[in-house]
């Protein structure tokens, strides 16, 4: 089965990409991504074809020199409680509740500890709901080929990156957006059919992540492409924004 997130396109022309990048910088994006060729012209049952070479220029452009590179790394410990990412960026409210809860337990003030535990649970559940909503916004933008919406779902900065199936890491907001333009310029008609399975969400402070199985089908196709995805979000000015999307082929 051909997987759906593979690109059907040749390596980009350098002069064309430079002109497109200049135009994008000059005016805000206002249109949806559209396939250059109608979906009916593609072979029946075809899906996005990934060619790692299609992303080679973006991958090279997204890697700054060692001297100037500034990387923010998130470490995830296997087996950590609730699978939460290791980070010290805990929100003030959560940090205070955690500290007060431990103090109440040490002082054997169990009534207060129970109240603090409930407040902490509500805060964490609200954060999980917000991260799931951000995850849904990302997939809606992808499904509809909506460039404006895709731009709004991502955090801006050099630390963000994407890994498309069968391709390498593409870093930096501008390069990540160019990669999504390439993905959604494939010869297929939008909207796509995207179903998510085995969705799991974890949040710790201002960092959260969602793992899921992406089931993707293009119009006119009778088969599904399957990817396993990890989507990492960070809270920026009170809004959850994607900073990492990593999708890999999954063969059952």
Q: Which domain holds residue 54?
A: 5-77+124-249
pLDDT value, residue 95: 79
In a domain, 117, yes or no: no
pLDDT value, residue 42: 34
pLDDT value, residue 189: 79
In a domain, 179, yes or no: yes
In a domain, 83, yes or no: no
pLDDT value, residue 101: 92
Q: Does the pTM of the predicted model rise above 0.75?
A: no
In a domain, 103, yes or no: no
pLDDT value, residue 245: 98
d(CA 142, CA 180): 9
The string of DSSP codes covering 145-170 is T-HHHHHHHBPPSTT-EEE-TTS-EE
Partnered with residue 233 across adjacent β-strands are: 208, 242
Q: CATH no. for residue 72?
A: 3.10.450.50
- pLDDT tens, N- to C-terminus, the chain (252 residues): 444 444 333 334 444 444 444 444 443 333 343 333 333 333 333 344 444 455 666 666 666 544 333 333 333 333 333 333 333 333 447 778 889 999 999 999 999 999 999 998 898 889 999 999 999 999 999 999 898 999 999 999 999 999 998 888 999 999 999 999 988 776 667 889 999 999 999 999 899 999 999 999 888 788 888 999 999 999 999 999 999 999 998 876
In a domain, 97, yes or no: no
Domain count, the chain: 1
In a domain, 88, yes or no: no
In a domain, 102, yes or no: no
pLDDT value, residue 207: 96
In a domain, 139, yes or no: yes
pLDDT value, residue 18: 43
């Amino acid at each position: 089965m051909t997987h759906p997130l593979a690109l059907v396109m040749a390596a980009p022309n350098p002069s064309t990409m430079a002109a497109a990048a200049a135009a994008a910088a000059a005016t805000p994006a206002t249109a949806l991504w559209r396939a250059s060729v109608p979906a009916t012209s593609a072979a029946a049952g075809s899906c996005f074809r990934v060619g790692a070479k299609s992303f080679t220029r973006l991958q090279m452009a997204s890697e700054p020199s060692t001297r100037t590179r500034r990387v923010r790394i998130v470490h995830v410990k296997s087996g950590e409680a609730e699978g939460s990412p290791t980070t010290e960026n805990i929100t003030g409210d959560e940090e205070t509740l955690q500290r007060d809860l431990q103090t109440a337990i040490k002082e054997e003030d169990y009534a207060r500890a129970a109240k603090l535990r409930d407040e902490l649970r509500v805060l964490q559940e609200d954060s999980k709901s917000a991260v799931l909503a951000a995850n849904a916004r990302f997939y809606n933008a992808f499904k509809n080929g909506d460039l404006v919406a895709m731009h709004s779902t991502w955090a801006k900065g050099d630390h963000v990156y994407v890994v498309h199936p069968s391709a390498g890491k593409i870093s930096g907001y501008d390069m990540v957006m160019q990669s999504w333009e390439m993905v959604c310029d494939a010869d297929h008609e939008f909207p796509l059919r995207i179903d998510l399975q085995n969705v799991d969400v974890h949040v710790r402070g201002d960092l959260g992540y969602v793992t899921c199985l992406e089931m993707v089908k293009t119009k006119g196709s009778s088969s599904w492409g399957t990817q396993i995805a990890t989507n990492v979000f960070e809270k920026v000015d009170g809004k959850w924004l994607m900073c990492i999307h990593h999708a890999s082929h999954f063969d059952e």
